[in-house]
C-alpha cells in the first residue's frame, strides 16, 4: 500500500512527538510512525527531568546566577569537549524556551518548588515533571497530537529510506504488526527520531566491544539503532559511536534504572561492600560507573536516611519500584546503621566510621574525601534506606551528524536533502558522556527545530 503525507516522522518518543507537533502547527500533514505497540520510547520510562538554565523554579528557589553559558560549559566539559560546540550552543540557548513550550503549549506540569542537580552540573537546574517520570511528558504530548489530529501509527516499523534521482529523501517503507508492507511518501521530508541503540547488544559491541552482554540495559526493547542504520545505508555520517553510557544505579537483577535512588541528588551516599565511600556521588555517570565496577563484586550500595528521603520523596513517587526492590531483597529499610549493615553483611564498624565522617562533613560543609559538590547531608538520624545497585547501559551518545537546522549530513559533510533527525539518534551533543537531564533538553530542542525546518525548506 502507498500513503502520502507532507512529513513522515519515525519514532514516537519525545523528539518525534515534538517534531510532529511543530510540523503540524506549521501547516503540514504529518504522520508519526512507531514500531512498538505503544508510544513513548525511552522518554516515557525516563525520570523526565529537564535542564533549563535560569528557569522559573530556580528563580523561585533563589538561584539567580545560572546562565546559558554555564550550562554550555557544563555540557561541553561533561562530554570531554567531544560535542559539536555550535550544536551545544543551540541546546544551551534554547533549553529554557523548550521547557516553557512544554509548560505553556503542551501543558506539562513541573514541580514548582524542587529541582535536581545532576552529576556534572554546576547549578541545580533540572526541572522535574509531576510524578518524576516521562509519563507526564508523553501523556501530555499524546493529548496534544490527539487535539491536533496528527495521525499516529503504532506497530509500524520503518525500514528503508527512499530517495529520488536527485538524491532527495522522499519517504520510507514500513512493515505493520500484521506484516503489511506500506510505503509512506513524504512531500516535504522525513524526520528520524528513533532513539538510541542501548538494547542492541550486537550493535553496541560493533562500536565498543566493552559494552557486551555483561551489561543489562535500562532502555526499551525498541532502542535498537534502526534510524542510524537506515540513514547510514543512504550515506549518512556517524559520530561518537563508541561512546555508550552506563547509568550507575540500576537494579542488579533486571538492569532497570532506579528512580527511587534519585535520593542521590538529595544527598544519599554510595558505599562499597567494605562500608566505605569510593567516589563523589554527584560525579559524572561514566566516572561513578567505572568506580563501582572497580569495587568488590562490581556493585555499590546507596544509603540515605529519612531526612534525605523527605526532600525529594522519591519513595512515595516511585512506590511500585520501592516495593519491588524490597521484595527482591535489594532494598532494606533499617532503624539503625547496624541493621542496615547486617542486612547486606557490611562491616558495621567501618560503615559507622564512614557515616561519622559524612556527618562531620555535613556540619562543616566540606567533604574532605570526595568534595561532594552539593554538600553532604547529616546521616545522624534514622531510619535508613540501603539499596544495592549496578551500572547498566543507558544512553548511546553517538549517532547521526546533523547541522544547526537538524539536516542529516553525509560522509562529505553535505546535506542529505529531505532528511532530518533529532534526539538520541543524533551524535553531536553529548560527546563522551551525557549529563543527567540533558537528553530531555536535547530531544525537545532539536525535535522542535526539525519539525519547523522540514516545513520551512
Ligand atoms: P528520543 O528520546 O530521541 O525521543 P525515544 O527512545 O524516547 O528517543 O523514542 C524513540 C522511539 O522510536 C521509540 O518509541 C522507538 O520504539 C521508536 N522506533 C525505533 N525504531 C523505529 C522504527 N524502525 N520504526 C518506528 N519507530 C521506531
Give residue 225 CA to ligand 1 midpoint distance, Å.
9
How far apart are alpha carbons 400 and 408 in whole angstroms?
A: 7
Write down the ipTM of this complex: 0.99
User: Which residue has the least CA distance to atom 17 on ligand 1?
Assistant: 11
Rounded CA gap, 278 and 113, in Å?
A: 31
Bridge partners of 156, per DSSP, are 176
E strand segments, 295-405: 300-305, 331-334, 384-396, 399-400
Rounded Cα–Cα distance for residues 382 and 337 (Å): 8
Identify the pLDDT of residue 119: 87
Give 193 Cα–ligand 1 centroid separation in angstroms: 6
Which ligand 1 atom is nearest residue 134's CA?
7
Nearest one of 172, 138, 171, 142 to 157, comparing CA atoms: 172
Estimate to the nearest angstrom the gap between the alpha carbon of 157 and the chain centroid: 23
Nearest CA to ligand 1 atom 19: 194
Q: Could you list the beta-strand ranges (E) of 15-99.
A: 30-33, 50-51
Please name which of 96, 5, 6, 1 lies closest in space to residue 56, comparing C-alpha atoms: 96
Place of cell 562533613: 361
Per the structure block, which three cell numbers stand in for 8? 513522515
Q: How far apart are the first and last CA of the chain?
A: 27
C-alpha angle 168-174-177 in degrees, rounded to nearest 5: 165
Residue of 22, 159, 222 to test ligand 1 pocket, by largest number of atoms within 8 Å of CB: 222
Ligand 1 centroid vs 236 CA: distance in angstroms?
A: 18
pLDDT of residue 123: 95
Displacement of CA 449 from its chain's centroid (Å): 19
Nearest CA to ligand 1 atom 3: 423
- 402-439 b/e (C-beta count within 10 Å ≥ 16 → b): bbebbbbbbeeeebbbbbbbbbbbbbbbbbbbbbbbbb
- For residue 187, report the distance from its CA to the centre of ligand 1, in Å: 22
Give the Å distance between the CA of 335 and the centre of ligand 1: 44
The residues annotated with a catalytic role in the active site are 285
pLDDT at 429: 98
Where do we find the cell 527511587?
260
What pLDDT is recorded for position 286? 87
Q: Give the closest residue (by CA) to ligand 1 atom 8.
A: 195
pLDDT at res. 61: 97
Pocket test for ligand 1, best of 172, 194, 425 (most atoms within 8 A of CB): 194
CA 221 to ligand 1: nearest atom: 16
How far is Cα 62 from Cα 245, in angstroms, rounded to an integer?
33
Pocket of ligand 1 (CB under 6 A): 10-16, 33-36, 40-43, 157-158, 193-195, 222-223, 226, 423-425, 439, 443
Write out the E strands in 193-334.
238-239, 244-250, 269-271, 300-305, 331-334
The whole-number pLDDT of residue 41 equals 98
Segments of the chain scoring below 50 in pLDDT: none
Closest atom of ligand 1 to 11 CA is 12
Cβ atoms 454, 23 nearer than 8 A:
yes
Q: What is the dihedral of CA 40, 42, 74, 240, to 10 degrees?
A: -120
Residue whose Cα lies nearest atom 27 of ligand 1: it is 11
Q: How far is the CA of 11 from the centre of ligand 1 (A)?
A: 4
Closest atom of ligand 1 relative to the 219 alpha carbon:
6
Output the residue whose Cα is nearest ligand 1's atom 14. Answer: 41
Enter the pTM of the model: 0.93
Cell triple for 229: 542504520
Percent of the chain surpassing pLDDT 90: 97
Angle separating helix axes 438-456 and 85-104, nearest 10 degrees: 90
Distance between Cα 113 and ligand 1 center (Å) = 32
Amino acid at each position: 500500500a502507498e500513503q502520502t503525507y507532507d512529513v513522515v516522522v519515525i519514532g514516537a518518543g519525545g523528539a518525534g512527538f515534538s517534531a510532529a507537533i511543530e510540523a503540524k502547527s506549521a501547516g503540514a500533514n504529518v504522520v508519526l510512525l512507531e514500531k512498538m505497540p505503544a508510544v513513548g520510547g525511552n522518554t516515557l520510562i525516563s525520570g523526565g527531568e529537564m535542564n533549563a538554565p535560569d528557569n522559573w523554579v530556580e528563580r523561585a528557589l533563589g538561584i539567580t546566577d545560572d546562565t546559558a553559558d554555564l550550562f554550555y560549559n557544563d555540557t561541553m566539559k561533561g562530554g570531554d569537549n567531544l560535542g559539536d560546540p555550535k550544536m551545544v550552543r543551540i541546546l544551551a540557548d534554547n533549553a529554557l524556551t523548550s521547557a516553557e513550550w512544554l509548560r505553556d503549549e503542551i501543558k506539562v506540569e513541573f514541580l514548582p518548588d524542587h529541582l535536581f542537580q545532576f552529576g556534572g552540573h554546576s547549578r541545580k537546574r533540572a526541572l522535574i515533571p509531576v510524578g518524576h517520570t516521562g509519563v507526564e511528558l508523553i501523556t501530555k504530548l499524546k493529548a496534544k497530537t490527539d487535539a491536533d489530529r496528527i495521525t499516529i501509527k503504532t506497530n509500524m516499523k520503518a525500514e528503508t529510506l527512499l530517495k529520488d534521482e536527485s538524491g532527495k529523501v522522499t519517504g520510507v517503507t514500513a512493515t505493520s504488526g500484521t506484516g503489511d508492507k506500506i510505503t509512506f511518501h513524504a512531500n516535504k521530508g522525513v524526520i528520524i527520531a528513533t532513539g538510541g541503540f542501548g538494547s542492541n547488544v550486537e550493535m553496541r559491541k560493533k562500536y565498543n566491544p566493552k559494552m557486551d552482554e555483561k551489561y543489562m540495559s535500562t532502555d526499551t526493547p525498541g532502542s535498537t539503532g534502526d534510524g542510524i542504520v537506515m540513514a547510514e545505508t543512504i550515506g549518512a555520517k556517524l559520530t561518537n559511536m563508541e561512546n555508550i553510557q552506563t547509568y550507575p544505579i540500576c537494579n542488579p537483577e533486571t538492569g532497570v534504572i532506579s528512580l527511587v535512588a534519585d535520593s542521590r541528588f538529595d544527598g544519599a551516599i554510595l558505599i562499597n561492600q567494605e562500608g566505605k565511600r569510593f567516589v563523589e556521588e554527584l560525579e559524572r555517570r561514566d566516572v561513578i560507573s567505572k568506580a563501582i565496577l572497580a569495587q568488590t563484586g562490581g556493585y555499590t550500595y546507596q544509603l540515605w536516611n529519612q531526612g534525605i528521603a523527605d526532600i525529594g520523596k522519591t519513595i512515595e513517587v516511585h512506590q511500585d519500584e520501592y516495593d519491588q526492590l524490597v521484595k527482591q531483597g535489594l532494598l532494606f529499610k533499617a532503624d539503625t546503621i547496624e541493621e542496615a549493615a547486617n542486612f547486606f553483611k557490611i562491616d558495621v564498624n567501618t560503615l559507622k566510621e564512614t557515616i561519622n565522617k559524612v556527618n562531620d562533613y555535613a556540619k562543616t560543609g566540606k567533604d574532605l574525601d570526595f568534595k561532594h559538590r552539593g554538600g553532604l547531608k547529616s546521616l545522624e538520624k534514622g531510619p535508613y534506606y540501603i539499596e544495592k545497585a549496578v551500572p547498566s547501559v543507558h544512553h548511546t551518545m553517538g549517532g547521526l551528524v546533523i547541522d544547526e537546522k537538524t539536516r542529516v549530513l553525509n560522509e562529505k559533510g553535505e546535506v542529505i536533502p529531505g532528511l532530518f533527525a533529532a534526539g538520541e539518534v543524533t551524535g553531536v551533543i553529548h560527546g563522551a558522556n551525557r549529563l543527567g537531564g540533558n537528553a530531555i533538553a536535547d530531544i525537545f530542542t532539536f525535535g522542535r527545530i526539525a519539525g519547523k525546518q522540514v516545513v520551512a525548506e
